[in-house]
Structure 1
């Protein structure tokens, strides 16, 4: 307290003024010491079990340390207590002191804690009973692909935080690194079975208010489920160290009433149909460049950087690249191995360059290829049409 008082004197403020400034902040910071408000049965069960365990653990802590402190005070040498002289379990009392705490701990672990946890885990793993719909989640560096098999909807979701904020050129937004261009939309009150997998490394789909945190592993299909009870926007992120930019892989879920969800499904289908129809028309170079810039910033800039300079050796530069400035197609209009189009469509095995043919539309692929060939000092002057990409698939 004296040190705090001297600090206040040197800073030219009163101790009461410092307390008035600090206490409101402490009053509003209590949320950071507890779980976020649960909005699913899993999250609610998790919080209830956590609180139940904390009560048991606190009682156990107080009892054990109370006995220890009492023993140390009561039997200390300064009050004349003489130590016992025995070695090993020589009598019944020593066996009782060993076995009774062991029995108490067994009762606590298996009855007071084990039974509630067992039922909660069974409920968490029951993904199929009374599931109303399925959502497939595919993790890839560093974005999510969401697929609604019942509706035929599939799209990518990437962070929409501006690169200027990430580079500290602009002030951070309210939801810095927790905002996306295409959020998940789910209906309230419906049990959603979630299937998770990955195309490259291990990712983790995590939304704290759902109580769900499940790994997406390449080559495996894992499961979890949610039943959102309240409308709202819920934010999470990949909770796995999945690579250089693992912090730029957010999850955003919009939970809406069922009528609003059905309206979103119809709207999304219309947009996807319009995008598919775009592959059959002839695009101008200017339109391809404008669309390609948007695709590049969302899908490619995180690795190859905003100016195409790359991050050697994992992410090569696109500026002056032999692949980017090489031929687009063969003279017969066919795909050339290790060409620019082939690399974007099929990726390169053993590297961080993933295949985009199954995640981007024909229009997006044509646009980003055209943009890369005419940006970063690459002045090829050529272009590729979405219809050509469609024929190469």
Structure 2
């Protein structure tokens, strides 16, 4: 009697776990998100279907196991059967799993096919992964920008209090309209990254030299966050994704404003070529650029990381020939993590950060670099 009670108690625990998990799975913070797209809902429904099937299999398997343990126990005089093979049993345990797998494969295949269908899109956005930032380019709109981590270095170092979206905030979010099919073309400038936004059920690798495709159609306006999901280097954890989904009319207004902002930036960049800033002005601007773009590798104090990223302090480049210094920042260095900043920074920003590196962080060369110097260097290289 006691053994029967023990068996029933164990079986009830299994049933309780399965049914409780099924009943509260949708509310659990540990479960997959339902998201805000049709594809994300399909993925969630598929996930729950497989989960329920697994629960049903667990109930059957454990039920048969506990029943067999009780019904064929030694105290009841049960004697183990002796046989080497049974065609009937082999057919049963082969056919049943095949049927289950087929039933699981049908909805899974439909979802996978839908996820890969990028045809008839309303908007195409090119996403380029780069150590350690994202570059977004809107096809046919002449709008492109970089999106960088906005969490301050002081918050990362624990000097300032961490915000609600610590390491999940950027300076320029990707802005998209709702109710439109958006195709993403994905590639990389350097190593493999992975663009992942759980609410869209979109996770696609960005691979150097290749173009991957995926798509989404957002149903609800809001701010949705994700991360790079591929270990891509030292600052992998500092490469967040923020998508601001807007109503279609709001998106059109943002697009007009963004184009005006880009046009103004180009005018300011052109005007800076004839302007001559003082050493103090260049150092002030350069420090801000350095902290935002350079300190993640070369460190805030310019000491670098031995064996990985060279120091700025005492560097032969930062204290040597001005044109060589410009060349390294403008064109980068092949085979290293030093990327080209020609299209990431304006000529004035490049001039300022070069001046800062040459006259701060323990260096005191005493000269300055103007935007015109950077522009002239670029023009000379293009003419070669």
Short-chain TM bin: 0.7 to 0.9
Spell out the pairing of 1:183-222 with structure 2 (5 A cutoff). 183-222=173-212
Q: Spell out, residue by residue over 1:52-71, the C-alpha distance to the aligned partner (whole angstroms, 9 max, x if none).
A: 11111111111122112211
Cα RMSD (Å): 1.7
Match of 2:20 in 1: none
Spell out the pairing of 1:227-238 with structure 2 (5 A cutoff). 227-238=217-228
Contact 1:279–1:390 (CA under 8 A) maintained in structure 2? no
Spell out the pairing of 1:1-393 with structure 2 (5 A cutoff). 31-87=28-84, 89=85, 94-110=86-102, 112-127=103-118, 129-280=119-270, 281=272, 282-285=275-278, 286-329=280-323, 339-393=324-378
Runs of 4+ in 1 over 3 A off after TM superposition: none
Relative to the length of structure 2, the TM-score reads 0.87
SS of the residue aligned with 2:29? helix
- In the alignment, the residues of structure 1 paired with residue 134 and residue 71 of structure 2 have an alpha-carbon distance, to the nearest angstrom, of 62
Per the alignment, do residues 75 and 109 of structure 1 end up closer, same or farther by CA in structure 2, a change over 3 Å counting?
same
Unaligned 5+ runs, structure 2? 1-23, 379-384
Residue 389 of structure 1 and its aligned partner are, at CA, apart by: 2.1
Per the alignment, do residues 122 and 316 of structure 1 end up closer, same or farther by CA in structure 2, a change over 3 Å counting?
same
Match of 1:19 in 2: none
Unaligned 5+ runs, structure 1? 1-26, 330-338
Contact 1:362–1:387 (CA under 8 A) maintained in structure 2? yes
Contact 1:275–1:363 (CA under 8 A) maintained in structure 2? no
Q: Spell out, residue by residue over 1:337-392, the C-alpha distance to the aligned partner (whole angstroms, 9 max, x if none).
A: xx111110111112111111133222322222222222212222322222332333
- In the alignment, the residues of structure 1 paired with residue 346 and residue 94 of structure 2 have an alpha-carbon distance, to the nearest angstrom, of 63
SS of the residue aligned with 1:156? strand
SS of the residue aligned with 2:322? coil
Relative to the length of structure 1, the TM-score reads 0.85
Residue 216 of structure 1 and its aligned partner are, at CA, apart by: 0.5
SS of the residue aligned with 1:300? helix
Q: Spell out, residue by residue over 1:140-197, the C-alpha distance to the aligned partner (whole angstroms, 9 max, x if none).
A: 1111111112111111111111111111222211101000111110111111100111
Q: Spell out, residue by residue over 1:81-113, the C-alpha distance to the aligned partner (whole angstroms, 9 max, x if none).
A: 1111222x2xxxx21112123212111111x21
Match of 1:12 in 2: none
Match of 1:24 in 2: none
SS of the residue aligned with 1:169? coil
Q: Which moved more, 1:281-290 or 1:230-239?
A: 281-290
Contact 2:33–2:44 (CA under 8 A) maintained in structure 1? no
- In the alignment, the residues of structure 2 paired with residue 283 and residue 291 of structure 1 have an alpha-carbon distance, to the nearest angstrom, of 13
Size of the aligned set, in residue pairs, is 350
Contact 2:34–2:44 (CA under 8 A) maintained in structure 1? no
SS of the residue aligned with 1:173? coil
Match of 2:3 in 1: none
